[in-house]
């Protein structure tokens, strides 16, 4: 597979993306909610013409994401950022249909202006419930900087606030959403009669095989019927879940202290940072994350000089040789958007495996891309 893709290369599978998009559209239609794409998880804009066949909106968390939404989703964005700067706010308001503030102080600073310009104003709250176990990805701890806690909303919200927003889930199921909603209602239910929309953030991994979409639709319909609100979900991962790979190649084999390392022309820290941050072990097309499954074991080493740029032993059915392909599965969400050119490591090309099986090379990166980020 991906014979004509260069190495390294992110390869998006068009059919798999369309499968995810059509599932998401079906959920949105059946539950009568709006589901928009969170660019922070997937922003491969060359694929947006495909995305636009199924959904119409996106959420942006910065001026640049907002500009991408305006230009390539061809619509104003739902914008939420941890904080807005005075210098950016006019541009943000011009390109946004909705703006969500993360704190009461930011709401006070910019809310009225947003409303006067016809942008629908929301406030992010912290329901203080989450099933996310990794602290790095848990936005709803009691000391989190993300969202206003109920104890801090002493007075009524200004009349112009039309929406509330929470984001507490990460690769979660509909049962976690149901529990989140119970906590949200408990803490913020009294505000619901005065608002028009509720944005339930991301983390709804409805395209994962074991996700109970029937239950999600039921939960959303019940909540909507009870509170008469327009509901918005803004997943990122769910759109690009299992839609493509990162192709790399073994460029050296080293052995030290009895540990064999296959050095690849990719890097975990530069191209797959969540493997180190979360951490997690991606699956391979041609090997096993389980160390005992194949007969031949190799640590996989990134080509940057960061000492920790490696994943502990994977196993293979055959010994590895220089030139062998190592293809990491499910490498589209939160990869392309997070890459760096640390060490000047070659940035992976970006390509599309089309529905007819053809490979289309969309973008390659060279010295000028590395140089342009610096001065």
Ligand X SMILES: Cc1ncc(COP(=O)(O)O)c(C=O)c1O
Binding mask 67-106 for ligand X (x = CB under 6 A): -------------x--------------------------
Nearest distance in Å: CB 191, ligand X: 19
Binding mask 182-211 for ligand X (x = CB under 6 A): -------------------xxx--------
Nearest distance in Å: CB 41, ligand X: 4
> Please, which residue, 40 or 72, has the CB nearer to ligand X?
40
* Residue whose C-alpha is closest to residue 21's, from 11, 36, 32: 36
Nearest distance in Å: CB 62, ligand X: 12
Nearest distance in Å: CB 150, ligand X: 18
> Please, which residue, 282 or 287, has the CB nearer to ligand X?
282
Kindly report whether the peptide bond that precedes residue 279 is cis, defined as omega within 30 degrees of 0: yes
Nearest distance in Å: CB 166, ligand X: 9
Q: What is the DSSP letter of 360?
A: E
What residues pair up with 318 in beta bridges, in sequence order?
none
Nearest distance in Å: CB 361, ligand X: 27
Binding mask 128-167 for ligand X (x = CB under 6 A): ---------------------------------------x
Q: Is 86 exposed, middle or buried (0-12, 13-18, 19+ CB in 10 A)?
A: exposed
> Please, which residue, 236 or 301, has the CB nearer to ligand X?
236
Report d(CA 370, CA 367) in Å as an integer.
5
Report d(CA 243, CA 291) in Å as an integer.
25
Kindly report whether the peptide bond that precedes residue 205 is cis, defined as omega within 30 degrees of 0: no
What Å distances lie between residue 3 and 6, 323, 325, CA to CA?
8, 13, 10
CB 315, CB 287: distance < 8 Å: yes
Site for ligand X in 10-49 (CB under 6 A): 38, 40-41
> Please, which residue, 239 or 328, has the CB nearer to ligand X?
239
Size of the site for ligand X (CB under 6 A): 14
Nearest distance in Å: CB 263, ligand X: 31
> Please, which residue, 13 or 234, has the CB nearer to ligand X?
234
* Residue whose C-alpha is closest to residue 131's, from 158, 169, 86, 82: 169
> Please, which residue, 224 or 338, has the CB nearer to ligand X?
338
Site for ligand X in 230-289 (CB under 6 A): 234-238
Nearest distance in Å: CB 54, ligand X: 16
The secondary element (H helix, E strand) that includes residue 65 is: helix 63-68
> Please, which residue, 5 or 168, has the CB nearer to ligand X?
168
Report d(CA 351, CA 17) in Å as an integer.
13
What residues pair up with 328 in beta bridges, in sequence order?
246, 284
Nearest distance in Å: CB 201, ligand X: 4
* Residue whose C-alpha is closest to residue 200's, from 229, 159, 241, 226: 229
> Please, which residue, 237 or 346, has the CB nearer to ligand X?
237
> Please, which residue, 136 or 225, has the CB nearer to ligand X?
136
Report d(CA 178, CA 261) in Å as an integer.
45
What Å distances lie between residue 323 and 185, 230, 245, CA to CA?
56, 53, 18
Interface residues with ligand X (CB under 6 A) are 38, 40-41, 80, 167, 170, 201-203, 234-238
């Amino acid at each position: 597979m991906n014979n004509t893709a260069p190495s390294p290369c992110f390869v998006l599978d068009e059919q798999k993306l369309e499968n995810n998009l059509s599932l998401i559209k079906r959920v949105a239609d059946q539950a009568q909610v709006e589901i928009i794409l969170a660019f922070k998880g997937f922003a491969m804009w060359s694929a947006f013409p495909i995305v636009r066949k199924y959904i119409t909106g996106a959420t942006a968390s910065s001026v640049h994401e907002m500009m991408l939404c305006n230009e390539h989703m061809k619509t104003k964005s739902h914008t939420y950022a941890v904080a807005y700067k005075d210098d950016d706010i006019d541009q943000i308001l011009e390109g946004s249909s909705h703006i969500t503030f993360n704190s009461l102080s930011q709401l006070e600073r910019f809310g009225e202006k947003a409303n006067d310009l016809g942008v629908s104003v929301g406030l992010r709250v912290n329901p203080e419930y989450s099933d996310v176990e990794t602290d790095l990805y848990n936005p709803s701890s009691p000391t989190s900087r993300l969202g206003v806690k109920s104890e801090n909303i002493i007075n009524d919200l200004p009349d112009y606030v039309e929406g509330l927003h929470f984001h507490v889930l990460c690769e979660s199921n509909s049962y976690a959403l149901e529990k989140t909603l119970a906590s949200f209602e408990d803490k913020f239910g009294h505000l619901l009669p005065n608002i028009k929309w509720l944005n339930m953030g991301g983390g709804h991994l409805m395209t994962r095989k074991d996700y109970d979409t029937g239950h999600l639709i039921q939960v959303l319909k019940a909540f909507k019927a009870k509170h008469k609100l327009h509901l918005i979900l803004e997943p990122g991962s769910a759109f690009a879940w299992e839609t493509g790979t990162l192709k790399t190649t073994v460029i050296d084999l080293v052995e030290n202290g009895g540990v064999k390392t296959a050095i690849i022309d990719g890097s975990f820290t530069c191209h797959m940072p969540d493997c180190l941050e979360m951490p997690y072990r991606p699956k391979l097309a041609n090997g096993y994350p389980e160390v005992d499954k194949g007969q031949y074991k190799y640590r996989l080493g990134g080509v940057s000089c960061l000492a920790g740029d490696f994943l502990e032993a994977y196993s293979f059915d055959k010994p590895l040789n220089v030139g062998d392909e190592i293809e990491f599965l499910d490498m589209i969400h939160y990869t392309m958007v997070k890459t760096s050119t640390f060490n000047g490591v070659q940035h992976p090309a970006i390509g599309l495996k089309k529905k007819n099986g053809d490979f289309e090379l969309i973008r390659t990166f060279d010295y000028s891309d590395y140089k342009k980020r610096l001065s």
